[in-house]
Structure 1
């Protein structure tokens, strides 16, 4: 599943993860820490929508 930041459009793909930001491939969005922020604009998890 993919999630997109509503503010800047950065996409998080659970299958790919975000290794450049320390998030392993296969990490579910719901399993990201509650204080996760968009790496581009620092928006919180509540600013992401399913793609």
Structure 2
């Protein structure tokens, strides 16, 4: 089994609307610079598409 690269950027998907948050790209329109890790996204941040809460996102592999 290959060793997982813990420094790799991850991708999270909104379970409500399917919006994708990519750590590598960030979301500059919402003040999240490229490279912003999910754990560094503020807890009160909401999906820019449907206003779902951060807890409504799930880690996905693309």
User: What's the TM-score, normalizing by structure 1?
Assistant: 0.93
CA distance in 2, matches of 1:45, 1:24: 17
Is residue 2:38 matched to residue 1:29? yes
Q: Deviations over 1:9-30 (max 9, x none)?
A: 0000000101122210000011
Number of matched residues? 51
Runs of 4+ in 1 over 3 A off after TM superposition: none
CA distance in 2, matches of 1:20, 1:46: 20
User: What's the TM-score, normalizing by structure 2?
Assistant: 0.78
Gaps of 5+ in 2: 1-9
